[in-house]
Amino acid sequence: MIDPKIIADAYLETWNAVPGQRRAALSAWRPDAVYTDPLMSGQGHEALQSMIDGAMTQFAGHRFALDGQPDGHGRFVRFSWTLRDGADVSVARGTDVIKLDDSGHIAEVIGFLDGVAQ
C-alpha cells in the first residue's frame, strides 16, 4: 500500500530542491520518467532536471506546498499544490496525478494548472 502523502512530498521536494540537490531528489523518479503539463514536458532525469531548473529560475524565491490531503488508489496519487512566493503568498495552484511503477518510483506525472491563486 502506498502512502499518497509520502509520494506527494517526494515529488514536491524535487521542485523545491536547490539546483545542486535536485539530482538527488530525482532518485524518487524512474530514470525514464515522463512529466507533462500545459506549459512544459520532459522525459528522463536530465531533461526533467533542466525543465525544473528553468521553471524555478523564473520563480526564484518561490516554493511549492501541498494544498489539502493527497489521495490515491493502486499506482496513482492525486494532490493539489500551491506555488508560494517569499512572503508565503500563494500565486498559483494546480493538481497533479502521479503514476508509480511497480517499485514505487514516479513513472509519470500529468500536471493541471488550476489557475492563479485568489
- Tell me the CATH number at 9: 3.10.450.50
Work out the mean pLDDT of the chain and round it to a whole number. Answer: 94
Domain residues for 29? 4-115
Number of domains in the chain: 1
Span 52-69, average pLDDT:
95
Dist. CA 85–CA 49, nearest whole Å: 21
Percent share of the chain, pLDDT over 90: 90
